[in-house]
Amino acid sequence: MKQINITLKPFVYLICLCVLMSCENEFLDVRPDKALVVPQTLDDFQAILDNTSVMNVAPGLNEVSADDFLATEAAWGVLSEVEKNCYIWQPDLFGSQPSVEWNYPYQQVFYANIVLNGLSALKPDMAQISRWQNLHGSALFYRAIAFYHLVQIFASPYGSGDQASQPGIPLRLDQGIEKKSTRSSLKESYDQIEKDLLMAVELLPERTNYKSRPSKAAAFALLSRLYLTMGNFEKSLVYADSSLKINSQLMDYSLLDSTSLSPFPSALPNGNVEVLFHTAKTPYLFETIPTVVVDPLVFSSFAHEDLRRVLFFNNRGNGIITFKGSYNSFNNGFAGLATDEIYLIRAECFTRSGKIAEAQDDLNFLLASRWKKGSFTPVKEDSQDALLLRIINERRKELVGRGLRWTDLRRLNLDARFAKTHTRRIGGHTSSLSPNDVKYVFPIPDNEILMNGLQQNPRE
């Protein structure tokens, strides 16, 4: 008995050990958290791009520095330090703090690059090829729009100097994080956006079921906006045209309820016919508090028959006019792409190329949908200059609060006809922003400058 025990027990022990060893790999391959995933499949990549709180966000501070909205003295005590700095165009905006205006777009670029990297490692079969292309195109589009938003804030206006030597933004084209960032030239930056978008239009489907996802119509629209920003009106016209060929719909404003405090149908998932691609502005108090009001000059430029006067604005008396015209009925303002903007781009490009009749058609088609039924008298301007001025004015009115005004100020300053000095008076101090001021380019947050030794934008 004793003998058996001595020989048997270690043997049993060994068997146990062997059994356990053999299942070791399986035992150690269990995922520690079911919610975790190493993105490898098309579904995984789609889920990354469907994170709307990362991918569908646009800058918000440019609106504070632009001229559509005014902060009253009462608002002043409430605004944050950064908003105050932006409002009165201080040299230092971020006070050595990081800024989401810089971080968010680069986070979008990072997400897009992860998807691009992952897709290149995947060999799609015939059944998957269209989804693969769609995701590839989407990632390129997201990267392009993020770069576009960055150059509108952190780089000089296109055409303000020698693009090849002016600093642009760092172009991160790979998911790796080891490489140091350097500022590409302004030309390289715009070239990259153009390249990504031109590739994206080849890959994207014409329309999507969700307006948070890019489509061919949206990519054409963004190309059109890009070329307009670059002053390339010919190409801008071509792509505005392409976009409108896919979606030319406008809402009939006379069908909307002007008494509603939120009169526009929600863009998401697919409720607003004009919206081509949805993004929402980064929220700031400047957007939400009632003591920040619409510039009275903007408000008074709307005729009484113009429905936008009551659909866009809430006139609460005592000069308190707040904005309610966002195409995003969720809390943060809409800053995406919509057909009304594309009509205005096409009208501007037609005018600039001398096609007065076509320009007027576009403008009148848009405005007719904005006015009370039967009250609108079509615009008739034979002079190219006068029509251009009219279109620029209508552009400001139609696109108020869309996050586009800052870019327009920057590009229009380059044309002496539209250049304008802005002043603001708060707490007894007056600040001003002259045309082509260096303050049209935001400083890059200190943490980025320090870690990569980047060239800072001059602010004084």
Partner 1 sequence: MIRKSLFFGVICIAICFGTIAQNRETLTGSVVSKLGRQPLPGATIQLKSNGAATISDPVGRFSISGPASQDTLLVTYLGYLSIQIPVNTFTAGVQQIELSENANQLGEVVATGYQMIPKDRATGSFVFIDNELLNRRTGAGILDRLADVTPGLVFNRNTGAGANPVSIRGQSTIFGNAKPLIVIDNFPYEGDISNLNPNDVESITVLKDAAAASIWGSRAGNGVIVITMKKGRQNQVFKVSFNSNVQIGNKPDPFYRQQMPVADFIDIEQRLFSTGYYRSSELSVNKYPLTPVVELLVAQRDGIISEETAQNKIESLKNQDVRQDIEKFFYRKSISQQYALNLTGGSDNHQFLVSAGHDRNLSNLIGNQQYRTTLNFTNGFTFYRKKLELNLGIYYTENSNRQNNPGPGAISLSSVTGTSPLYPYARLADDMGNPLAIAKDYRDNFTQQAMQKGLLNWDYKPLDEIRIADNKSGLTDYRFNATMGYKITDAFRFEILYQHARSTTRTRNLQSQDSYYARNLINRFTQPGSGGSLIRPIPLGGIKDENSGLSINKSLRSQVAYEKQWSSNQRFVALAGFEARDYHSSTNGYRLYGYDNTHAASKQVDYISTFPSYINPTSTNNTILNNDTQSELTDHYLSYYANFSYTLYQRYTLTGSARLDQSNLFGVETNQKGAPLWSAGGSWNLSKESFYHVSSLPYLKLRLTYGFNGNINKSVSALTTARFGSSVDYLTRLPYTTIINPPNPTLKWEKVQMLNFGIDFEFLNDRIGGSLEFYQKNGKDLIGNIALAPSTGIETYTGNTAGTKGKGIDLVFNTHNVKGEFNWNSNLFFSYVSEKVIDYPVKTSPNIYITSGAGAGTYPLEGRPMYAFYSYKWAGLDPNTGDPMGVLEGQPSNNYSRIIAGTTTESMIYSGPARPAVFGAFRNSFSWKNISLSINMSYRLGYYFRRSSVSYNSVLRGQGGHADYTRRWQRPGDELSTNVPSIPPAINTSRNTFYLFSSTLMEKGDHARFQDLNLSYNILKSQWKQMPFSHMQLYLYANNLGLIWKSNNSGLDPDYPDGPPQMTLAFGVKIDL
What is the closest distance, in whole angstroms, from the C-beta atom of residue 87 to partner 1 in the complex? 14
Name residues contacting partner 1, limited to 141-180 (CB under 8 A). 170, 172, 175-177, 180
In the DSSP assignment, the letter for residue 342 is H
Is 200 exposed, middle or buried (CB count within 10 Å of its CB: 0-12, 13-18, 19+)? buried
Token pair recorded at residue 339 = 């057909």
Name which of 231 and 265 has its Cβ closer to partner 1.
Answer: 265
Does residue 107 interact with partner 1 by CB under 8 A?
yes
What is the closest distance, in whole angstroms, from the C-beta atom of residue 287 to partner 1 in the complex? 12
Of the candidates 98, 161, 319, 458, which one interacts with partner 1 according to CB under 8 A? Answer: 98
**Between 42 and 81, how does the x/- string for binding to partner 1 read (CB under 8 A)?**
--x--xx-xxxxx-x---------------xxxxxxx--x
Of the candidates 25, 164, 255, 297, which one interacts with partner 1 according to CB under 8 A? Answer: 25
Does residue 430 interact with partner 1 by CB under 8 A?
no
What is the closest distance, in whole angstroms, from the C-beta atom of residue 360 to partner 1 in the complex? 35
Does residue 119 interact with partner 1 by CB under 8 A?
no
Q: Near partner 1 by CB under 8 A, which window of 61-69, 250-258, 282-290, 349-357?
A: 282-290
Token pair recorded at residue 405 = 């005004």
Name which of 275 and 391 has its Cβ closer to partner 1.
Answer: 275
Secondary structure (H, E, C), 374-413 = CCCCCCCCCCHHHHHHHHHHHHHHHCCCCCCHHHHHHHHC
- Which of 76, 114, 53, 100 has the alpha carbon at shortest distance from 428? 76
Task: Please list the alpha-helical segments (H only) found in 155-283.
Answer: 186-203, 216-230, 233-246
Place of tokens 């000059």: 297
* Amino acid at the residue 89: W
What is the closest distance, in whole angstroms, from the C-beta atom of residue 1 to partner 1 in the complex? 9
Reduced to 3 states (helix: H, G, I; strand: E, B; else coil), residue 97 is coil
Name residues contacting partner 1, limited to 201-240 (CB under 8 A). 210, 212
Name which of 20 and 303 has its Cβ closer to partner 1.
Answer: 20
CA distance 229 to 413: 12
Name which of 54 and 414 has its Cβ closer to partner 1.
Answer: 54
Name residues contacting partner 1, limited to 321-340 (CB under 8 A). 322, 324, 329-331
Does residue 425 interact with partner 1 by CB under 8 A?
no
Name which of 303 and 450 has its Cβ closer to partner 1.
Answer: 450
Residues in binding contact with partner 1, number by CB under 8 A = 93
Name residues contacting partner 1, limited to 339-358 (CB under 8 A). none
CA distance 199 to 219: 10
Does residue 261 interact with partner 1 by CB under 8 A?
yes
* Half-sphere CA count of 42, side-chain side, radius 13 A: 15
Question: Is the CA virtual torsion 353, 354, 355, 356 positive or negative?
Answer: positive
Name which of 363 and 444 has its Cβ closer to partner 1.
Answer: 444
CA distance 225 to 236: 7
Of the candidates 262, 421, 423, 456, which one interacts with partner 1 according to CB under 8 A? Answer: 262
CA distance 57 to 283: 10
